[in-house]
Amino acid sequence: MMKLLASALLLVSIPAASAGQVLCHYTYGGETRILAVQAVKSPYAVRGVKVGSYFQFRPVFQSEPADQAAIKIYTYVERDEGPTLIHQSSFPYPLLQNSAASPYGFSGLHRVYEPARDGELQYWCEMDAGTEARQ
């Protein structure tokens, strides 16, 4: 009986499979692109991607440590004084089971507006189907 209990505890302590990647679909100026985002241990080195001449899109997928695991998406605009955060969304990781049922992934469709230049950036994010199945 003790061997069975020890085996069960060992199975529970085995780490989960690789966190995989997040795919973020973003649209600006009528053009849609997909950005694959790998899991990182620290969000500080993650750089954003320039979108048009005005926006910067920065999704961050932090899979560990467990108490800080999340998917966060930041949108900045370029101002004279430097990049300025105008939008942030956060999603706990691991994702809830029903969060992928939407046609716009776990994030839903976001529209980010910047009134000074009348710009609009749309985005939505999903777990890569290949990596989601392994989790």
Q: How far apart are CA 39 and CA 18, in angstroms?
A: 9
Helix (H, G, I), strand (E, B), or coil: what is residue 66? helix
Q: How far apart are CA 125 and CA 58, in angstroms?
A: 12
Structure tokens at 45: 């080195």
Is residue 72 a part of any domain in this protein?
A: yes
Mean pLDDT of 17-44: 90
- C-alpha 104: how far from its chain's center? 13
Which residues, listed in sequence order, are joined to residue 67 by a DSSP beta bridge? none
- Average of pLDDT values for 17-37? 90
Is residue 10 in a domain?
no
CA atoms within 13 A on the CB side of 117: 12
What pLDDT is attached to residue 118?
A: 85
Mean pLDDT across the stretch 33-41?
95
Interacting residues of 78 by C-beta distance below 8 A, sequence separation 6+: 53, 54, 55, 56, 84
Looking at the structure of the chain, the number of domains it has is 1
Number of H helices, E strands in the chain: 2, 8
Per-residue pLDDT at 98: 59
Arithmetic mean of pLDDT over the chain: 82
Domain of residue 124, residue span: 19-132
Any domain includes 6: no
pLDDT of residue 1: 44
Asked if residue 9 belongs to a domain, the reply is: no
The neighbouring-strand residues paired with 61 are 39, 71
Is residue 30 over pLDDT 70? yes
Instruction: Give residue 11's pLDDT.
Output: 32
Could you please report the per-residue DSSP string of 22-77?
EEEEEEETTEEEEEEEEEES-GGGPPPEEETTTEEEEEEEE--SGGG-EEEEEEEE
Token pair of 106 as six digits: 């776990």
> Is 23 inside a domain boundary?
yes
For 89, list phi and psi in degrees, rounded to 5. -130, 150
